[in-house]
Amino acid sequence: MAFSMTSAEYVDYLVLAGREIEQNGDYVTALDAKTGDGDHWVNLNMGFQKLISMEGELRALPLAEMLKKVGMTLMSAIGGSSGVLYGSSYIAAAKALKDRDTLDIQGVRLLLETQLQAIMDRGKAQPGWKTMIDSLYEGVQALSAALDAGADDRAAVEALKQGANQGMEHTREMEAVKGRASYQSNKGVGELDPGAVTMCMQLQCLGDYILSHKL
């Protein structure tokens, strides 16, 4: 069974992701206190709560315009490097999807691939560096592999979720290349990267929304 996701439905997902992030503040902040500056959750939550406050406005926009507005909002509302990275990823996705009115599974693939490349380019970072990229990279890889192997939409979305979780878990044993954790004697080994955790939360919410409401 195939699905089609409207701009308004994508906003439904963003609201779910924002609530999931909000509810996990203590957990993410505790992780970040061990390996980062301790402010990742505060900044990311601020951005997503701003999106939730704009829910009605965002729902009324065509897909590409909505994605661009999300990107501009996150860029201005999230402090630090995360705002630039998240903002750039959504603005790039808006350009890539400018001719689409809805998202099917290939549209989701294009959106996530574009976001991944934008984050890597803007952050000058790679998979394996213990960042949010790791959850997104492994999620995209798993989704693409499933689709290329002929999987149906449900199986492909399940692969996305599983890959994102694996990417997050793999950060536990990675050495940080950038950020505060890279200056620690153990390079953050043994701890999950908080950025990978919150990225995984978002991809899990996206997968859950599609599986529950569209398939």
pLDDT of residue 36: 79
> What are φ and ψ of residue 119, in 5° steps?
-65, -40
Over residues 34-40, the mean pLDDT reads: 86
Pick from 27-41, 102-116, 171-185 the range whose average pLDDT is largest. Answer: 102-116
139-152 pLDDT tens trace: 999 999 999 999 99
38-86 pLDDT tens trace: 899 999 999 999 999 999 999 999 999 999 999 999 999 997 789 999 9
pLDDT of residue 186: 76
> What band does 178 get if pLDDT is binned at 50, 70 and 90?
confident
Alpha-carbon radius of gyration of the chain? 16
> To the nearest whole number, what is the mean pLDDT of the chain?
95
Over residues 27-42, the mean pLDDT reads: 91
> What band does 37 get if pLDDT is binned at 50, 70 and 90?
confident
- pLDDT above 90 covers a percentage of the chain that reads 89
> How close are the terminal C-alpha atoms of the chain, in Å?
7
Q: What pTM does this model have? A: 0.96
Q: Is 56 exposed, middle or buried (0-12, 13-18, 19+ CB in 10 A)?
A: exposed
pLDDT of residue 181: 73
> What band does 184 get if pLDDT is binned at 50, 70 and 90?
confident
Domains and CATH numbers, the chain: 7-214 (1.25.40.340)
3-state DSSP percent of the chain in helix, strand and coil, to 5: 75, 0, 25
- Residue 183 above 70 pLDDT? no
Which residues does residue 103 pair with via DSSP β-bridges, in sequence order?
Answer: 5
Are 197 and 28 within 8 A, CB to CB?
yes
Are 130 and 138 within 8 A, CB to CB?
no
